[in-house]
Chains A and B, each alone.
Chain A
Amino acid sequence: MSAQGGLVVEGLHKSFGRTEVLRGIDLSVAEHEVVCLIGASGSGKSTLLRCVNLLEPIDAGRIVVNGEEITAHGVDVNRVRRGIGIVFQAFNLFPHMSVLDNVTLGPRRALGLPRGEAEAEARDLLTRFGLAEKMDDYPDRLSGGQQQRVAIVRALATRPRLMLLDEITSALDPELVAEVLEVVRGLARDGMTMVIATHEMGFARDIANRVCFLDGGVILEQGPPEQIFTAPREDRTQQFLARIIAAGRM
């Protein structure tokens, strides 16, 4: 693994059928940096994250993670994905497995750790995130907030150096949002490199080193949170933030 961490995206294009969702994304995220992606639904935030995790094949451009071009030919996608954690809006936990098995699946099958070692590590992680009591429960028995925390632990279990969070609080009841965001704040304090697609503007403002506003498949404007939220340069950014404020989300 390269010593140089972080993420570089250059000229990324992605279409679904005849709809071009990403029209040339350029983004670089330094190691230990937290970047928040904001923008309306359909602006390409989720697609960008899915492309970075190679869950979607890209049409043009290149993506470099931890110094390695992961979009090059012949790259072992399974190895690349182990180094990148992704958390989804809908949790996507495995309903037929206990919490502990959800978390150890990656380490055991993708990293090849023996069961005992994988479980010991998983127990540590689950305890650290306040889920020690829930280890043997099945996902259906957990609250949304607990499920999403398990999903974060599951993504962390393969020891990634880059975390991608895709609107991870959008499917949660309002009173459960805080516990999940607290976990993410903890990760940021520990120096995890993260790219976070979010509608929680207050949270983005607090946690991000940089905020990118996506519009129509490009990064229309980016900068430190204070600048984006208080003095956006682009009309579209101003309109977007005005709508957010009108909706009481900031």
Chain B
Amino acid sequence: MTAPDPGRRSRILGGGFSPLTNMSIALVSTIVFLVVVALLIVNAPGWETVKQSFFNVGEGRDTFPLVARAFLLNVKMFLIAEALILLFALVIAVMRGLPGPVFFPLRALAIGYTDFFRGVPTILVIYVLGFGAPGLNLTGVPTNPVVWGVVGLVLVYSAYVSEVYRAGIESIHPSQEAAARSLGLSRAQALRFVILPQAVRRVIPPLLNDFIGLQKDTALVSVLGSVDALQQANINSAADFNYTPYLIAAFFFVIITIPLARFTDWLIARERRRRQAGGVA
């Protein structure tokens, strides 16, 4: 059912020759490209200085384990934030879809919420929460900056993700709800068993896309002083007058993001194949 279409070529490799020829051409041109770029950089007048401050092997070896340990905090932050966002954003999206005049206040609240938190820069939300909330000196309010950093990320990203959910919910044809209601299901049951399962499946790729953004943005929490990968890199780089730790930190963020990016691509491709193979509207 998924016979490869001979007319369609790989988007990455391109070309009109046989697959093997295509691959060789791609390989050679990639090598040539990289060599040219490398030669340009290495022969630049300031290369020796840049190499010393950004690509310092000794500095890298020393700071790698420190940054790696600090990066665990980023991983912890985004894992917790992602779980909370999945739930909280769904609540916002459902609130926004409630029908009838009775629910106007909830709808208005949901709209106000998404408008506000999509508009404010994430770093501002984290600043205000991280320095403001503990400053209230209320008993029971946590003073750990990491907690408030995660709260800030959840608030901001839930606004984006709730819109993704909403797009999914609105893409389900009203006849599906009619069919569910005609069986005697309540509106909530129709949502729970018929609409949401289909809607969520449709929005998984854009949803994961937002999560890739979130994983990077955990670095913003370092403005509150918590020692994540970026902050650790800051510390080492300030102590040693060397920027190599930043590249180490960047390496970790990229490494953790790539698998999710490829997984998202794979899901999108699978969805497209499925729809083309099915062909039934």
Contact = CB atoms under 8 A, between A and B. Distances in A.
Contacts, number: 62
B178 A106 contact: no
A109 B193 contact: yes
Interface in A52-67: 53, 55
A115 to B, nearest CB: 13
Interface stretch (A6-14, A87-95, A180-188, A192-200): A87-95
A96 B178 contact: no
Contacts of A157: 183
A82 B175 CA distance: 17
Chain A: interface residue count, which band?
20 to 34
A100 to B, nearest CB: 14
Give chain B's interface secondary structure class: helix
B183 A158 contact: yes
B125 to A, nearest CB: 36
Given A109-B193, A140-B280, A88 B175 contact: yes
Interface string B180-206: 111111100100011001100100000
A78 interface: yes
Interface in B133-189: 175-176, 178-186, 189
A96 B175 contact: no
Contacts of A105: 180, 183, 185, 193-194
B225 interface: no
Contacts of A55: 178, 181-182
Contact of A78 (B175, B185, B280): B185
A53 B184 CA distance: 10
Nearest to A154: B183
A110 B280 contact: no
Given A55-B182, A79-B184, A92 B176 contact: yes
Contacts of B181: 55, 78, 81
A172 to B, nearest CB: 13
Report the contact-size class of chain B (Cβ under 8 Å from the partner).
Answer: 10 to 19
B278 interface: yes
Contact of A95 (B184, B186, B198): B198
Contacts of A85: 182
Given A88-B179, A92-B176, A81 B184 contact: yes
B279 to A, nearest CB: 9
A158 B175 contact: no
Contacts of A94: 176, 179-180, 194, 198
18 contacts: A55-B181, A55-B182, A79-B184, A81-B181, A81-B182, A82-B183, A88-B179, A92-B178, A94-B176, A94-B194, A94-B198, A96-B197, A106-B185, A109-B183, A109-B185, A110-B183, A110-B189, A140-B280
Interface of A: 50, 53, 55, 78-79, 81-82, 84-86, 88, 90, 92-96, 105-106, 109-111, 140, 154-155, 157-158
* 6 closest Cβ pairs, A-B complex: A82-B184, A110-B184, A106-B183, A92-B179, A81-B184, A86-B182
Given A55-B182, A84-B182, 7 more contacts: A78-B186, A81-B183, A82-B183, A92-B175, A96-B197, A96-B198, A110-B183
